Structure 1
């Protein structure tokens, strides 16, 4: 018998759970189905969010034939059989799993069939198609993003499975205790397939008492022991978490930053966490708290020596400090401003008095002539031109007065700037 998640897949667009922005009233996929004008599409999103279900529901809501292939395991010959069927029947809906791994030979074979409309391609992938799928395929398809299912969506799917007499457990006396139901919902992480499979395992592995199967919280935990967590260090979700992590620290939200740190720790990718924390310490805190970077590095080195699970402690300490430190991005904006001039070709000749005067013939060229050694002057400073003539008035450093340390830097910088103008 097929798994419960397979049996409970919708047969029409009205049975799809979640993804209402696509299949609900006014949703673009529903409008396609209602108008009978299907076009090829790519569905992308986390596992268990309904990509295959939507494809089957589209086929079930139309008169078109439906076939399912995998871009990796199925061959070009398998696709040729689908194309032949499309010629005979007029049109075939082809669900192609892992479309981001479609090789060139299969792609070249499919393209003309997509052009003439005989094959309606529904590609399914967990990877961002804008990064992972060949432009030739992308240009012939509509791209739709699926969202993780909500807790209410997961609950609806579980209740439907418990009451469905044909494909679910509606013919059996099954009681799922409230805490057990909560665990199936919460631990699924938006993956309805994981939730349904865990429910089925719990029911099939629990002996009945007086004709009734009772699923307890412990049963639920045994069947779904670890929270389903979508983490792929090469996938979009990983980069989304990293982005939210840095933006939460930049925004001084300790609780949000710790939440995203916990998700990254769950993924076990310590090198990436370490690199991002070090970047943040210089990019977002920077000169507002210059010592924060060295303390962050110390925390990272401690975490690397400790390894998980103990590494979570110094990482947490670093995150809390970075969140609550004053913020300044002046180091970033300053160097980027200088690089912008270089990239525009604004360089100019180095002033003669700054050029190297130690090689033979340098003095004849005037190199080093007129250079004034700052350590010989009060305060260790003497006003002289350092930038090339065409950039002599450039100001790249724009201090932020978000901390006492950078306010002091600003005061010194402004004093030096005033002396330059004299």
Structure 2
């Protein structure tokens, strides 16, 4: 019989064996307190792949001493869940660890809900999807939500060393001489996914022949071949995608060029040119705006160049745009102004347009008073004349608040104040 994968064999059986997630499982933290006090309630663990969601669920069940079953919402059907409920009635209660919990269909949800309510089933759901977006509110409202974080490279190194030394479940029975640089590379290249790191370690070990002394010698090159390349954790349709885009815009807004280029690199590695282009144009007008009016057109030119050449060369014009936007003076006054106008409109409704501004391009308009008192600005010096343009209900409103911190908008502000 083929041995189960190393990552599966190394799953912790107790919360004390869990690596990382100190924010949830450290001494005095909520999840640990719930387990130690034997006051478990239904919960959803969510986070990126390889953060140990199912492992932690199994460790919680193992530490608590409760009977538990492991199902997958995609693979297992309602009949499987009926079997779990029957066991729960026999034991008094049972922990149901449910992978891909966001895939629960309505029939399974309707079946589980009364058993969650009664406490017969303690659900520990695991998912990579944000439960606030993907899980039915009826299920979610009955669960605590715990977000797991990607493991840091030192934590992954700890997991790899544990696997190398574990004689019962890991690779401890083997004679292995592994270069420290190979371990470090695996910990970095797995992109926070401990499962991927363990799988690569196992491949490196099992694919390396023994020497005359029965030792498998693993060098950096073998580790590189086993994991192939750094895995960027970035699902274009997932929650993390919007986190990267948010960090990208906030870094440019905050004028941090290095952080801006970092998040650009993450989006480029994911091959997501569409989101980059859209977000850069938004930034050019929302965050830079009137402080550097040419930034918008230059950003559009960079985007068109990126579209023309494609990846990998697209990174070059986009980097130019990002650096300019990050280092440009910032003004959000146009963005704030239109939002203020929209908010006032929604509150005050469509007020009557002044008669002198109404359309006159039809016979009889003047008989109705349309446009009669309108003053044509080009007939006046400087092509400007003071007259009311806002409806009476809004005539005292001011939406644009000038920014005097940059040269261009300072000039606009002088005109604006003069014409009030």
Match for residue 301 of structure 1? 304
Residue 130 of structure 1 aligns with which residue? Answer: 132
Q: Which position in structure 2 is the counterpart of 1:11?
A: 13
1:176 to 172, 178, 187: 178
Cα deviation 1:140-173 (Å, max 9, x = unaligned): 1111110111122101101100100111111221
Is this contact kept in 2: 1:64–1:93, CA < 8 A? yes
Moved more, 313-322 or 394-403: 394-403
Counterpart for residue 399 of structure 1? 402
> Which residues in structure 2 correspond to 1:78-89 (within 5 Å)?
78-89=80-91
Distance in 1, Cα, partners of 2:68 & 2:349: 61
Q: Is 2:351 aligned against 1:348? A: yes
The separation in 2 between residues aligned to 1:401 and 1:104, in whole angstroms, is 57
2:58 matched residue in structure 1: 56
Query: What is the SS of the residue equivalent to 1:344?
Result: helix
Could you tell me how far apart the structure 2 residues matched to 1:401 and 1:90 are? 70
- C-alpha displacement of 1:2: 0.5
Output one character per residue of 1:108-143: Cα deviation in whole Å (capped at 9) or x when no partner: 000111111111100001111111111100111111
Distance of 1:110 and 1:287 partners within structure 2 = 56
Alignment partners' CA distance in 1, 2:103 and 2:290: 45
Q: What 5-or-longer segments of structure 2 have no aligned partner?
A: none
C-alpha separation in 2, matches of 1:169 and 1:73: 31
Distance 1:296 1:402 in 2: 22
Q: Separation in 1 of the partners of 2:337 and 2:23?
A: 43
What is aligned with 1:255? 258
Larger CA deviation: 20-29 vs 295-304: 20-29
Q: Secondary structure at the match of 1:168?
A: coil
Within a 5 Å distance, the mapping from 1:21-420 to structure 2 comes to: 21-209=23-211, 210-417=213-420
- Deviation (angstroms), 1:29: 1.9
Deviation at 1:47, TM superposition (A): 0.6
CA distance in 2, matches of 1:318, 1:27: 44
> TM-score, normalised on structure 2?
0.98
Find the aligned partners of 2:348 and 2:209 in 1 and give their Cα distance: 78
Q: Which runs of 5+ in 1 are unaligned?
A: 418-422
2:45 alignment partner, SS class: strand
CA separation in 1, counterparts of 2:60 and 2:340?
Answer: 52
Partners in 1 of 2:284 and 2:217 — Cα distance?
Answer: 52
Contact 2:36 2:64 in 1 (8 A): no
- Deviation of 1:358 after TM superposition, in Å, equals 1.7
**2:178, 2:218 within 8 Å by CA — same for their partners in 1?**
yes
Structure 1's consecutive aligned runs of 4 or more residues displaced over 6 angstroms after TM superposition are none
CA shift at 1:234, angstroms?
Answer: 1.5
Q: Is the 8 A contact 1:66 1:93 kept in 2?
A: yes
Contact 1:341 1:347 in 2 (8 A): no
- Give the TM-score normalised by the residue count of structure 1: 0.97
Moved more, 196-205 or 66-75: 66-75
The two structures, once aligned, show a CA RMSD in angstroms of: 1.0
How far is the alpha carbon of 1:391 from its aligned partner?
Answer: 1.6
Distance 2:65 2:10 in 1: 21
Partners of 1:24 and 1:388 in 2: how far apart? Answer: 61
Asked if structure 1 preserves the Cα contact closer than 8 Å seen for 2:337 and 2:401, the reply is yes
Q: Residue deviations 1:4-62, cap 9 Å, x none?
A: 00000001111111111222211222212211121110000111111011111111112
Are the aligned partners of 1:257 and 1:319 in contact in 2 as well (CA < 8 Å)? Answer: yes
- d(CA) in 1 for partners of 2:320, 2:112: 53
Q: For 1:295, what is the secondary structure of its paired residue?
A: helix
Is the CA contact 1:347–1:391 (under 8 Å) kept in the aligned structure 2?
Answer: no
Deviations 1:60-112 (A, max 9, x none): 11222121111111100110111111111222111111111111100000011
